[in-house]
Amino acid sequence: MKTKVAILGSGNIGTDLMIKVLRTSKTLEMGAMVGIDPNSDGLARARSMGVPTLTGGIDDLADKSGFEDVRIIFDATSAKAHARHSEIARNRRIQMVDLTPAAAGPYVVPVVNMGKHFDSPDVSMVSCGGQATIPIVAAVSRVATVHMRNTVFCLSEEADTAAIASSIERMVEQVRAYVRGYRLKQEVQFDRIGSDNAMIVPGVGAFTGVKTSVYLEIEGSAHYLPAYAGNLDIMTSAALSTGERLAEQKWS
């Protein structure tokens, strides 16, 4: 039996996430698409796809009968609105997955730390850039102590570069399980930094070791957002994966 979810926000992000739930999820099903503009394209698209729609915001979802079995709410509205949404969800013991910048709950990247936050009633999705890059830093960290990280450049202790490359490739495949267009643009690049050309790293001092450079590209799934909007597609894909993992942990 699938877990019923609702999406708050009928803009581009919410609509793309809705279509992902409908087309790709084996765990979740749409219970409601909730907006405040009855003429929005997102609500029109939801109605055309047979999804129940509400136009009174979260109050509509909370007060109307027939939606008591919604277990997860995805919030694709705004950081300002999320505080109230989160309070209402907590009072009704509904799991919240936050796609806004509110940061009311712990930050989550599904393949990196979801297991630590199954008990949190409100989880926050890391930014689009973070969803793309943090898995790579985590992959390097599995085999070498990372002292500095910026986008997907890592400075780590001296380590087996083949092991680092293998760890990154495994992580890319893990992310591809929910973001199909996530891939390496070229092979992982390595530079060894010796004592003769040591880097001065703030907080670390003179650094010697391995510089790992990872170049990624992300092609969107074009469910609703265009294929070139991979930076947004990774957010909705990560949110979907987070919801599925929560559902499997709590209600399967």
DSSP type of residue 233: H
**Please, is 208 exposed, middle or buried when counting C-beta atoms within 10 Å of its C-beta (0-12, 13-18, 19+)?**
middle
- The reply to whether 154 belongs to the active site is no
139-171 burial, b at 16+ Cβ within 10 Å, e below that, comes to bbbebbebbbbeebbbbbeebebeebbebbeeb
Token pair of 220, please? 């969107």
Q: Which of 99, 108, 114, 128 is catalytic?
A: 128
DSSP for 53-75, written as a single string = EESSHHHHHHHSTT-TTEEEEEE
Q: Active-site positions?
A: 128
